[in-house]
Amino acid sequence: MRVSERRGGHVVEAQGRSAGRRPVDLRALAALVVVVLTAVGVAIRVSVAGEPIFGDELSTYWIISTNGLGGVVSTVHTDAEIPPPLFFVAAWLATRIELTPELARAPSLVAGAASVPVVYLLGLRTVGRPTALVAAALTALSPFLIYYSAEARGYALMVLMVALSTLAMLLAADTRRARWWVLYAACSCAAVYTHYTSVFPLAAQFLWLLWAHPQARKPALLSNVGAALGFLPWLSGVRADFGSPTTEILSDLNPLSWEYVRDSLSHAAVGYPYRHTGLDELPGTPALVLFALALILAVAGVAVRAVRAGPRAWPSARDQRLVLVAVIALSVPVGELIVSAVGTNLFGGRNLIAGLPAFALCLAALLMAAGPRLRFVTVALALACFAIGAAKMLDERHGRPDFRAAANFIDRRALPGDVVIDAAVISPGPYSSLDLSLRRKHLVIRAGVPEQRDRPFGLFDQPVSRARAAETAVAAADGGRIFVVSGRTALRSRLFRPRYRLVETRTYPGTADLKLQVWADRRSPRR
């Protein structure tokens, strides 16, 4: 134990032992906890990363599978893709080992795993070690972060770059060493090269730095000028991205409204990225009750402590770091709301992700501020909510649509001459999820989207109606069977009757269920 006594006006501390006990090494213990949390986070993310490729990932896979490195950059430079090129380059490099969907997701997986210890290190310099551990646990178990750590898009990489930028900035301000200023500039530049919405937290932390560390203003300005110069070569790509018709399409699909803002914020905080999976499903009503109790008890504990302590309870100059994480957490939704109100709507769940590490630190600080005893209850309740949500991410009902199971069935059962109708294409483009899941060669006809398979879709590409797809499939099959993969709404039976009859139906659960129908010609012996 540590013994203190006052001698000659000075406090003298002596290190001793009580009852033969060795002093606990808190740093080593905390490091061990972070390792365990990271391992848990990695295990969950690796499991989710094994799901079939889906949605916007298909565009990533097409770009990296059909181009060399120069072609990847030039394709992303056009309006075919909205985000900047850094993630696509990282995914292309990863798939040089082997071209697989799993390796296309590898940069996100690595970034998602690294974010757990980085949030802890950031917490050490902002909210203290105990609170940093809670924030690291929230990061490891966040369903939202888990999902994007297993997606072949740049969101998880942006999260890591923003967090590293903040950490390097604080190290630079504290130590005044040039290497940290260089790292701060490099990470800031890399964050913007990953996703444009990173400018909101980067701007917020830069303004905080000018306010909290006046002596660091000159190196801070030089670092940000360096980051801006590093991004200059991509300005022509920025013009193409913001002029892309995809930007307007996405804005029209998600008009800004109070309900949309509320759902996006709540899902980013504790839920699943897609709004059709309600919070009552993931994390679920019991988990939400636990989280609400944690917040209520935390706020009540803070209020009681403030009343008892009076002015001493309010933040001091030492708590400028807490202001930093709060400003970063707020900068993302506020910045996106302002831009969306005056122009194209970019407010949305996945675009809010850059502020989630700061949100985890703020939430952890609130839970820990409940008091020396109550904090154990508030932290346990909140972590239980996040753990329930993380566990549900492993449930097939909350996984990406199971195209692999549908494709395996078709590969086993389809015979030469049979035809496949893909009516479950969500993101039209050269590849579909079913295309990349099938292992054998089949005649696949798309329904509901354009048929082009050599470039991203355009505004003037005409979708193939379901009726036309069915007509084409019947003619092509010429007595063979027709396998139809669709979403929750299957193709109408009248499209195949009277010549064909339904002989088998299968349903594959996921966040969007898949239906597989097998239609057989009444006149053919093939069943």
Alpha-carbon gap, residue 443 to 369, rounded angstroms: 62
Above 80 in pLDDT, residue 10?
A: no
- Count of alpha carbons within 13 Å of 409, Cβ hemisphere only? 20
Instruction: Determine the 3-state secondary structure of 517 from DSSP.
Output: strand
- Count of alpha carbons within 13 Å of 245, Cβ hemisphere only? 5
Which pLDDT does position 38 carry in this prediction?
98
Strands 2-7 and 10-15: antiparallel
Lowest mean pLDDT among 73-82, 151-160, 220-229: 73-82
What is the tens place of the pLDDT at every residue in 34-66?
Answer: 999 999 999 999 999 999 999 999 999 999 999
Q: Percent of the chain scored above 90 by pLDDT? A: 77
Transcribe 286-328 into DSSP letters: HHHHHHHHHHHHHHHHHHHHHHHHGGGGS--GGGHHHHHHHHH
What is the tens place of the pLDDT at every residue in 203-225?
Answer: 999 999 999 999 999 999 999 99
- For the chain, the domains span 26-398, 403-521
Above 60 in pLDDT, residue 17?
A: no
14: confidence class by pLDDT, cuts 50, 70, 90:
very low
Instruction: Please answer whether residues 215 and 179 qualify as being in contact, where contact means their C-beta atoms are separated by less than 8 angstroms.
Output: no
312: confidence class by pLDDT, cuts 50, 70, 90:
low
**Mean pLDDT of the residues in the chain:** 91
268: confidence class by pLDDT, cuts 50, 70, 90:
very high
What is the tens place of the pLDDT at every residue in 289-311?
Answer: 999 999 999 999 999 988 888 76
Alpha-carbon gap, residue 496 to 419, rounded angstroms: 13
The number of beta carbons lying within 10 Å of the beta carbon of residue 499 is 14
Q: Which residue has the higher pLDDT, 302 or 12?
A: 302
8-12, 102-106, 458-462: which is most confident: 102-106
Which pLDDT does position 103 carry in this prediction?
97
Q: How many residues does the chain have?
A: 527
What is the tens place of the pLDDT at every residue in 368-398?
Answer: 999 999 999 999 999 999 999 999 999 999 9
126: confidence class by pLDDT, cuts 50, 70, 90:
very high
22: confidence class by pLDDT, cuts 50, 70, 90:
low
Q: Which of 335, 316, 321 is nearest to 204 (CA)?
A: 335
Which pLDDT does position 462 carry in this prediction?
87
Above 80 in pLDDT, residue 158?
A: yes
Reply yes or no: is the peptide bond before residue 498 cis, omega within 30 of 0. yes
Could you tell me how far CA 188 lies from the centroid of its own chain?
19
Q: Which of 129, 102, 23, 80 is nearest to 430 (CA)?
A: 80
Alpha-carbon gap, residue 320 to 312, rounded angstroms: 16
Tokens, residue 404: 């692999």
Which pLDDT does position 9 carry in this prediction?
40
Q: Percent of the chain scored above 70 by pLDDT? A: 92
User: Which positions ≥6 away from 514 have C-beta within 8 Å?
Assistant: 401, 402, 403, 405, 406, 424, 485, 486, 487, 507, 508
249-253, 333-337, 348-352: which is most confident: 333-337
Q: Which residue has the higher pLDDT, 79 or 398?
A: 398
Alpha-carbon gap, residue 500 to 261, rounded angstroms: 47
Q: Which residue has the higher pLDDT, 190 or 346?
A: 190
Alpha-carbon gap, residue 380 to 29, rounded angstroms: 19
The number of beta carbons lying within 10 Å of the beta carbon of residue 264 is 23
What is the tens place of the pLDDT at every residue in 481-513?
Answer: 999 999 978 889 999 988 999 999 999 999 989
346: confidence class by pLDDT, cuts 50, 70, 90:
confident
Above 50 in pLDDT, residue 248?
A: yes
Which pLDDT does position 459 carry in this prediction?
67
6: confidence class by pLDDT, cuts 50, 70, 90:
very low
pTM of the model: 0.93
Q: Is the dihedral of CA 140, 372, 295, 340 positive or negative?
A: negative
CATH classification number, 403-521, choose in 1.10.3470, 3.40.50, 3.30.1490, 1.20.272: 3.40.50
Question: Which residues are 517's β-sheet partners?
Answer: 484, 505
3-state helix, strand, coil in the chain (%, to 5): 65, 10, 30
Instruction: Determine the 3-state secondary structure of 516 from DSSP.
Output: strand
